[in-house]
């Protein structure tokens, strides 16, 4: 019986050690999970703040352009000219799209020059006379 009691004590000791190690591992895992959750929350908050900064910078740029598009400071002159030019190109491209929706192409050759839409009647090209 003595051997059985020794074996029983050793088993209890081993189980106790396993339980202690398991509890410690659980506490460490729990702490690690809390740290990771907090880091994820902080990274999310940083992301929201960066989005706010980007949105605010865009709004500042839009407001500056609207106020100073005709007389920008030298540092912003090229940017304002680029925006104004792009807006003008968009207007022209939309006009061409509208024309194509209404009238289609004048031929099927797929040549960009050949297939350009005819000028709209409201914007006729001046007729050449014999003097020209």
Convert the pLDDT of each residue in 88-114 to its tens digit.
999 999 999 999 998 887 666 666 666
List, in order, residues 6 or more apart from 95 with CB less than 8 Å away: 120
- Residues 15-44: what's their mean pLDDT? 88
b/e per residue 1-37 (b: at least 16 CB within 10 A)? eeeeeeeeeeeeeeeeeeeeeeeeeeeeeeeeeeeee
CA–CA dist 130, 17 (Å, integer): 110
3 state DSSP class of 128: coil
In the predicted model, is pLDDT for residue 118 greater than 80? no
Q: What is the pLDDT of residue 19?
A: 75
- Residues 26-37: what's their mean pLDDT? 92
Tell me, yes or no, if the pTM score tops 0.75. no
């Amino acid at each position: 019986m003595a051997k059985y009691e020794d074996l029983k004590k050793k088993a209890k000791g081993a189980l106790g050690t396993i339980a202690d190690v398991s509890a410690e591992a659980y506490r460490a895992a729990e702490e690690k999970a809390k740290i990771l959750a907090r880091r994820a929350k902080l990274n999310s908050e940083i992301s929201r703040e960066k989005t706010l900064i980007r949105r605010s910078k865009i709004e500042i740029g839009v407001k500056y352009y609207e106020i100073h598009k005709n007389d920008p400071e030298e540092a912003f002159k090229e940017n304002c000219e680029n925006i104004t030019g792009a807006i003008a190109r968009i207007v022209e491209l939309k006009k061409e799209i509208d024309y194509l929706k209404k009238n289609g192409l004048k031929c099927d050759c797929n040549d960009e020059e050949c297939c350009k839409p005819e000028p709209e009647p409201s914007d006729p090209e001046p007729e050449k006379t014999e003097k020209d």
